Amino acid sequence: MKYTDIHSHILPGVDDGAADMEETLEMLKEAYEQGVRTIFATPHYIPGRKKKSAEELRQIHAEVCVAAKESMPDLKILLGNEIYCREGVLSSITEGRALTLADTAYVLLEFSTHISYKELFGYIKAISGKHYRPIIAHVERYGCLYRKEELIRELIGAGAYIQMNTESLPGGSFNRQAAYCRSLLEKGYVHFLGTDCHNMQARKPQMQTDLFKIKYARYEEQINKIMLHNVDCLLTNKWI
């Protein structure tokens, strides 16, 4: 299986991810060894905060692609942002200051962990209403959605897609958080997986977790759909 990681912080020196090109390449090699062949660099974008411009990110992305090509020639590195939803987010997206994923209509969105469901739903409706395809990053972090599958279904019905971090899936049967995350995966509520890797210490790439090594058979249908059908829809800018 060739994996696609749609959420990572591998660009050097642009956010709280990789500190420099050396760490970027270490992270990419780690991901590559775990079977990742397509990875999205998604540095944080927060409206109103000082940050690298879209043009600067594109230049840094191009430099990373060149640096990685010699040792990982078949690794595709694509660009986007993890966009924090706050005042000004819609204009940031529509005016091109915040980047969609690989220049498609898909946008990776982050929210405050304490956001209310009403506010989160409002962002999804507003962004999807502009013909974008919002992906809710690390869905497992939001208190308003935890163990509320009916709300997740409502968000999906409103045009949202769901991304989960791979590190949230492994764990024994007594790990209630991991068991809940696996149940969302098994029921088909997860459209994309990402590592959300930031560095080579506490938050290194973890795509090939124990879920894939030991429990793959149980989730084979869901993971195949995520990595093949859903990723293909993203890359070709089609609805899932």
CA–CA gap between residue 72 and residue 142 (Å, rounded): 35
Q: What does the buried/exposed string (b/e) look like for 168-193 if buried means 16 or more CB atoms within 10 Å of the residue's CB? A: bbbbeeeeeebeebbebbeeebbbbb
Mean pLDDT computed over every residue of the chain: 94
Query: What DSSP letter does each residue of 21-66 carry, written as one string?
Result: HHHHHHHHHHHHHTTEEEEEE--EE-TTS----HHHHHHHHHHHHH
Q: Is the pLDDT of residue 211 over 80?
A: no
Tokens of 100: 């969609």
CA–CA gap between residue 110 and residue 189 (Å, rounded): 18
Point out the least confidently predicted range of 40-49, 102-111, 166-175, 205-214.
Answer: 205-214
CA distances from 48 to 91, 110, 164, 227 (A): 11, 15, 27, 34
Binning pLDDT at 50, 70 and 90, where does residue 118 land?
A: very high
- Give me the pLDDT at residue 3, please: 93
Q: Give per-residue pLDDT as tens, 189-209.
A: 999 999 999 999 989 999 876
The whole-model pTM stands at 0.96
64 residue type, one letter: V
Q: Give per-residue pLDDT as tens, 52-89.
A: 999 999 999 999 999 999 999 999 999 999 999 999 99
CA atoms within 13 A on the CB side of 164: 26
For the chain, domains (ranges, CATH) are 3-235 (3.20.20.140)
